Amino acid sequence: MNPIPVESLHKTLSDQSLQTAIYDSTARLMLKRRNAVTPVPEFQELRSQANRIKQHAIENLDYYLEQLEQNVMRRGGKVVWARDAAEAVGFVRTLCKDKGVRRIVKSKSMTTEEIELNHELEKDRIDVVETDLGEYILQLANEKPYHIVAPALHKTRFDVADIFTKELGVEREEVIEKQTMIARRVLREKFLTAEMGITGANYLIADSGAVVLVENEGNARLSSSAPRIQIAVAGIEKVIPRAQDLVTFLKVLGRSATGQPLTVYTSFLSGPRRPGEIDGPEEFYLLLLDNGRTKVLADKNKRQSLYCIRCGACLNHCPVYRKIGGHNYPWVYSGPIGAILSPQFHGVTQNPWLPFASSLCGACGEVCPVKIEIPKILLELRSDITKAQSTAGGGGLERFAFRLFAFVMRRPGLYRFLTGLAPRMFPGKQGEWLRDVPSWMKWGPVTGWLSQRDLPPPPEQNFREMWRVRQRQSRPERQRQSSEVR
Amino acid sequence: MPRRVSLFVTCIGDQLFPHAGIAVAEVLEGLGYQVDFPEAQTCCGQPAFNSGFRDEARAVADHFLKVFEKADYIVVPSGSCGSMIGHHYAELFEDDPAKLKACHELEHRVWEFSKFLLEVAQVEDVGARFPHKVTYHDSCHALRELGVKSGPRRLLSQVRDLEFVEMDAAEECCGFGGTFSVKFAEISGGMAGAKIASLQKTGAEYVISIDSSCLMQLQGRILRLGMPMKTLHLAEVLASR
């Protein structure tokens, strides 16, 4: 059970240049989304449609996964089922050993981040290279992705200049286009010499056995066509029933993620190269990963968490993410979606603070292209957590406080008596907000509040006292008084 | 048509911002309504609900249901408490058909103050005068759970001598979030800071909201930063003459 990472949060919140980088980058992405969504009058209907398709696919997941498997095999691909990260990684390591793979090019995949694939493969001295520019920068810097879609969101071009100079031994370059050319030069060589390409998958189409990849840089296309062996790693929730369903998702994904009507490349991988084809891999594997997903599936209220298409819009619009960034979240999935996925995958007692680190503003649910009710799930998780803590004998003080709260709030007489005491006990001048309080008042919530804000004093008369006085007066008298006050 | 409304002033309104509640009554009485304040009212239960203590929230919600059982219209000067009652009570009584029915009936009787003025009383001009430059903060639950967006702006647009200026981050959260504001004080303060930076750019003297809790957060932070801006509940602007 991990407590709130107060120090790490403080470090992020007090780093002014990092704060600016996160806030400005997410503001740009918010604006881009808005500009891309506004001209599409049917956007809300598309969200509902996407939600319904996902709901249907998830409710019938067993059926569609089997259909997918058959169709992938029909096209000459192999389907591998992995129960957890160890099985998934084990398969890839064994395959590399059997096929003599020394170099792997990878395109961006959160699923492979989830199972820490690179780290495991490096143990076998395999050269694993991330080919998405953002991911490549982070691989050089030895960091985890900061954001689902924009992994290097927190890095400025000056940071990138530092990283390239240090890790690649090139001359310092601060112009973004030129930095891109440096990466491109290095990566082209890797693409041409890698024996294996590993990609993720945005969608798996059950009725045609195709893996769909959505990207902007063309590196996923190269990773999946240049090397001899290809593996697509995907969570089992990525399956959609029919090719025509894809239209709905492509319309919402690009707009929600980066504000693009459509991303630059949309690739359909359908098995290995067939006779007569000039490119494509000789061997094709689809690695389907559970790793906790079936556990989420079992909960009827929260299984909608599996609808996520990893667009990152909830991160960009989350005022908490925009303050604390990606690395304060305990898992590779950050932001609101990370806050609901992590507890469900790892158990609610693992990082019990996480679902509470939200003001429940609802901006995430408002922009989610598949309409996951993130705030509602956060609330359910909070309830699950307090229950789990109670069973484990923890969280006693807060539980006691809320029992007391409920006890008082159901007894108007007691409520009136206790709240009537407040103004008499409160220090300071009437009407003046407080910057500090006497030490007997300094406990949890008060200290928390005062650490950031001044505290309003209870007024001399609370509402019900004012009301009682007011009721005794005649209407004209009241009006005269109220205009005098103003 | 009943011309009688019951006021649920909210616990925060009762204990910390009574003038906003009085202003609600003044505006409603000015429109010819008879305002009733059921004395047995306390809190809607949201603090417990949002903190994951559903049994405790249910107990408080049950009390609310009893107190307001007979009310035709319940006016609430808060989007957040209004949404708790209108939307989340039903989640609490999912397994209790009788109470669930009562919650669903309640949904049509609970009105956030600005929504009540526009949709039930059907007025935009309540005869107010407020000679100041103001901006409006969209409180999250009012905006996203109750769909309150243009209403308060329309009401403000009818106020005499009032100059309205929109802020660029009107829809961004103030960072309050109930116990979030004290459990994650530094994040909460940072969020208020981002909001205040946007407020500041407008040059407004007052920031107006329909939720006292957002205003408490913003006013507390504004004072801490030593800024001159003030906060005010919409009802208080509409009650000004």
pLDDT of residue A162: 97
Q: Range(s) for CATH 3.40.50.10420 in chain A?
A: 42-295
Mean pLDDT across A284-305: 97
Whether the per-residue pLDDT at A475 is higher than 80: the answer is no
Q: B17: closest CA among A3, A458, A330? A: A458
Is the CATH code 3.40.720 the one for domain B4-120? no
SS3 state at A121: helix
Cβ–Cβ contact B203 with A under 8 A? no
Tell which of B14, B78, B85 to mutate to test the A interface (max A CBs under 10 Å). Answer: B14
pLDDT of residue B121: 96
- Rg for chain B (alpha carbons), in Å? 17
Topology of domain A42-295, CATH: Rossmann fold (3.40.50)
Closest CA of chain A from B175, distance in Å: 6
Yes or no, beta carbons of B183 and A356 under 8 Å apart: yes
The size of the A-B interface in CB pairs under 8 A is 211
A423 confidence band (pLDDT: 50, 70, 90): confident
N-to-C CA span, chain A: 54
Structure tokens at A36: 């891309």
pLDDT of residue A1: 64
Please identify among residues 74-103 of chain B the ones whose CB lies closer than 8 Å to any CB of chain A: 88, 91
Whether the per-residue pLDDT at A485 is higher than 70: the answer is no
pLDDT of residue A441: 84
> Which chain B residues are closer than 8 Å to A360 by Cβ?
50, 140-141, 177-178, 180
For every residue of chain B, which 3-state class applies, written as one string? CCCEEEECCCHHHHHCCHHHHHHHHHHHHHCCCEEECCCCCCCCCHHHHHCCCHHHHHHHHHHHHHHCCCCCCEEECCHHHHHHHHHHHHHHCCCCHHHHHHHHHHHCCEEEHHHHHHHHCCCCCCCCECCCEEEECCCHHHHHHCCCCHHHHHHHHCCECCEECCCCCCCCCCCCCCCHHHHCHHHHHHHHHHHHHHHHHHCCCEEEECCHHHHHHHHHHHHHCCCCCEEEEHHHHHCCC
Whether the per-residue pLDDT at B68 is higher than 50: the answer is yes
Whether the per-residue pLDDT at A426 is higher than 80: the answer is no
Specify whether the CB–CB gap between A376 and A348 falls below 8 A. Answer: no
> Which chain B residues are closer than 8 Å to A475 by Cβ?
29
A483 confidence band (pLDDT: 50, 70, 90): low
* Tens-digit pLDDT profile for residues A436-450: 888 888 888 999 999
pLDDT of residue B34: 96
pLDDT of residue A165: 97
Alpha carbons B111 and B102: distance in angstroms, whole number: 16
- From A13, A366, A382, residue closest to B187, measured CB to CB: A13
Specify whether the CB–CB gap between B226 and B10 falls below 8 A. Answer: no
Domain boundary assignment for chain B: 4-120, 133-238
pLDDT of residue A185: 95
Closest CA of chain B from A17, distance in Å: 14
Structure tokens at A187: 């990566």
Q: Return the minimum-mean-pLDDT range out of A316-330, A335-349, A456-470.
A: A456-470
Mean pLDDT across A4-14: 96
Closest-CA residue of chain A to B175? A359
* Tens-digit pLDDT profile for residues A74-94: 999 999 999 999 999 999 999
Q: A154: closest CA among A8, A325, A10? A: A325
Which amino acid type is present at position A148?
A: I
Order of strands across the sheet with A283-289?
Answer: A78-82, A283-289, A229-235, A196-199, A103-106, A127-130
Mean pLDDT across A210-215: 97
Alpha carbons A335 and A319: distance in angstroms, whole number: 9
pLDDT of residue B88: 96
Look at B215 and A479; give whichever has higher pLDDT.
Answer: B215
- From A381, A451, A461, residue closest to B18, measured CB to CB: A461
B193 class by beta-carbon count within 10 Å (0-12 exposed, 13-18 middle, 19+ buried): middle
Yes or no, beta carbons of A379 and B39 under 8 Å apart: no
Please give the torsion angle defined by the CA atoms of residues A106, A107, A112 and A114, in that order, rounded to the nearest 10 degrees.
Answer: 130
Is the CATH code 3.30.230 the one for domain B133-238? no
Whether the per-residue pLDDT at A396 is higher than 90: the answer is no
Alpha carbons B186 and B189: distance in angstroms, whole number: 5
Mean pLDDT across A312-334: 97
Mean pLDDT across B150-170: 97
How do beta strands A210-215 and A203-205 pair?
antiparallel
Specify whether the CB–CB gap between A194 and A227 falls below 8 A. Answer: yes
Q: B190: closest CA among B171, B177, B175? A: B175
pLDDT of residue A481: 63
pLDDT of residue A482: 63
Yes or no, beta carbons of A408 and B42 under 8 Å apart: yes
SS3 state at A141: helix
Mean pLDDT across A375-397: 91
pLDDT of residue A178: 97
Yes or no, beta carbons of B51 and A382 under 8 Å apart: yes
Whether the per-residue pLDDT at B120 is higher than 60: the answer is yes
Look at B74 and A420; give whichever has higher pLDDT.
Answer: B74
pLDDT of residue A458: 86
A484 confidence band (pLDDT: 50, 70, 90): low
Q: How many CB atoms lie within 10 A of CB A277?
A: 8
Specify whether the CB–CB gap between B56 and B89 falls below 8 A. Answer: no
Mean pLDDT across B2-10: 91
Mean pLDDT across A206-231: 96
Structure tokens at B76: 């609430």
Question: Helix A245-257 vs helix A16-37: angle between axes, to the nearest 10 degrees?
Answer: 140
Mean pLDDT across A172-181: 96
Mean pLDDT across B139-167: 98
* Tens-digit pLDDT profile for residues A24-65: 999 999 999 999 999 999 999 999 999 999 999 999 999 999
Question: Helix A245-257 vs helix A43-59: angle between axes, to the nearest 10 degrees?
Answer: 120
Structure tokens at A210: 């195709």
User: Average pLDDT, whole number, for chain A?
Assistant: 94
Whether the per-residue pLDDT at A486 is higher than 60: the answer is no
Residue with tokens 């050319």: A181
pLDDT of residue A37: 98
Mean pLDDT across A347-370: 97
Look at A474 and B65; give whichever has higher pLDDT.
Answer: B65
pTM, two decimal places? 0.96
* Tens-digit pLDDT profile for residues B190-220: 999 999 999 999 999 999 999 999 999 999 9
